[in-house]
Amino acid sequence: MRDKFDISRRLFLEAGLRYEKESSKNDIGQKVLDTSALAPRLQASFDLLGNGNTLLLGTAGRFYQSVILSFADTYAAVPQQTNYHLFQWDPATSKYEFVADNIVGGTANSPNLGLDATYLDEVTLGAQQQLGPTVGVGIRGIYRKWNDLIEDVLGYNADGSAIQNFINYPNAKRNYKGVELSFEKRFSHNWNLLANYTYSQTRGNNFSTLGGQLEDYVNETCQTTTDTTIGTGGTIPCSQVNNSQRLSGRPTWDIPNLFNLLGAYAFNLGPVSLTAGGAGIYSSGNSFSKTRSLNVVGRGKTTNYFYEGQGSDRGPNWWRIDTSLEATYRIFGVEIGAKGEVFNVFNRETPVSVSATAFCANSAASPTSGCGLAAARFGTYTARGAFMTPRNFRLTGLIRF
């Protein structure tokens, strides 16, 4: 439901209300999710000078996130992909011989029918100024706060059976703050140009779509034999590993600085129409963390230990420029032509995704030990996908009716 209101000649409002409902069942028809909510929206604009050239803008809204479908799979009562009969080839008999059965029952976890969908509250404030008939600039501040974040708390019953409880954990936090600057020159006199710069930060202790580490294995003991500086000789209560303080920090997708530029110029060369285009981007590097995998003693499970919180380190800033040239010719009402594109014109292969995040803080460890090697390799880029894609080309034939 949505409606617009002209409060005066210079003040305009648009209000909306959205009802959302989501439910899921597992493979035997048992309800495992039943949530509903109202999501209000409000937008306002004010013509500051009354001539339409200077606008003050604001929005406020609540936006719900769908609980992903894999959530229902965690309550599957018939895990078909888990159960199997194992046969191995026997050269002596020249046939597959039965070895063992792997039969696992369905989950014993009870669904939390009081679970609410995660939502974010967003508020924006901004201004837009028109500079002549085709040029405009703008500024906008953005604040987002996530609420009812869903945690899958892992642990064990008294009989040793594993449990996984999905809850809206009140200590799970995530927020975003940003400022956007924009410039727009609409297409006129054969060219256009768009540019925007965003300064932002994302902070919190839960950055997962569904679940995370918070409060996992709180009654268990975690241990590593590699880094004895963790806890006491490498042994530490898991409650000190998976608490909100140690997990606080930045997600990998926290990008403080991002600048985009896009432009095009069109002209004719005789009967041929030519359009040259270009795009550029400058970005802060992705963040990453000093981590070590710890064993949950006696359980056959592991959990990550963050030495300095999430997102403690950051990769190098990077930039890239792409360009294109399109040529078309119209004949019998049909436009034919070709388009050539060059991506990463300057062939920059800056590292963008760190390969080694395992760390070790024991400075007394031998350089050739597991600890010493982890410390030396931390923050290095070794995989092919860790670097920007090198310069590449694309040629496209065009037929437009």
Q: What pLDDT, in 10s, does the model give residues 140-171?
A: 999 999 999 999 999 998 888 888 999 999 99
Instruction: Output the pLDDT for position 99.
Output: 82
| Residue 303 to residue 180: CA distance in whole angstroms | 37
Q: Which two tokens stand for residue 172?
A: 């799970």
What is the Cα gyration radius of the chain? 28
Instruction: Output the pLDDT for position 81.
Output: 60
Contact 326/274 with Cβ under 8 angstroms?
yes
DSSP state of 384: G
| Residue 185 to residue 318: CA distance in whole angstroms | 26
CA 49, chain centre distance (Å): 40
Contact 338/326 with Cβ under 8 angstroms?
yes
Tell me the Ramachandran region of residue 94: left when phi exceeds 0, alpha when psi lies from -120 to 50, beta otherwise: left
- Which residues make beta-bridge pairs with 129? 54, 137
Task: Name the pTM for this structure.
Answer: 0.86
Q: How far is CA 263 from CA 136, 184, 266, 296, 324, in A?
A: 15, 10, 10, 54, 11
Tell me the Ramachandran region of residue 51: left when phi exceeds 0, alpha when psi lies from -120 to 50, beta otherwise: alpha
In the chain, how long is the greatest CA-to-CA distance? Answer: 93
Contact 360/292 with Cβ under 8 angstroms?
yes
Residue 366 exposed, middle or buried by CB count within 10 Å (0-12, 13-18, 19+): exposed
Instruction: Output the pLDDT for position 313.
Output: 97
Question: At 142, which amino acid appears?
Answer: I
Residue tagged 């019998």 (tokens):
332
3-state SS class at 301: strand
3-state SS class at 375: helix
Question: What is the DSSP code string of 12-79?
Answer: EEEEEEEEEEEEEE-TTS-EEEEEEEEEEEEEEEEESSSSSSEEEEEEEEEEEPPPPTHHHHTT-SS-
Contact 293/314 with Cβ under 8 angstroms?
no
Question: At 105, which amino acid appears?
Answer: G
Contact 222/239 with Cβ under 8 angstroms?
no
Contact 220/296 with Cβ under 8 angstroms?
yes
Which secondary-structure segment (H or E) carries 223? strand 221-223
Q: Give the pairing of strands 191-204 and 11-25.
A: unpaired
Dump strand ranges (E) for 284-385: 287-288, 291-296, 301-306, 313-314, 318-331, 334-343
Phi, psi of 392 (to 5 degrees): -145, 160
| Residue 297 to residue 289: CA distance in whole angstroms | 24
CA 331, chain centre distance (Å): 47
Instruction: Output the pLDDT for position 109.
Output: 78
Instruction: Output the pLDDT for position 369.
Output: 95
Instruction: Output the pLDDT for position 301.
Output: 93
Which secondary-structure segment (H or E) carries 120? strand 119-131
Instruction: Output the pLDDT for position 275.
Output: 98
Instruction: Output the pLDDT for position 82.
Output: 63
- List the chain residues with pLDDT less than 70: 78-83, 102-108
Q: Which two tokens stand for residue 395?
A: 């040629």
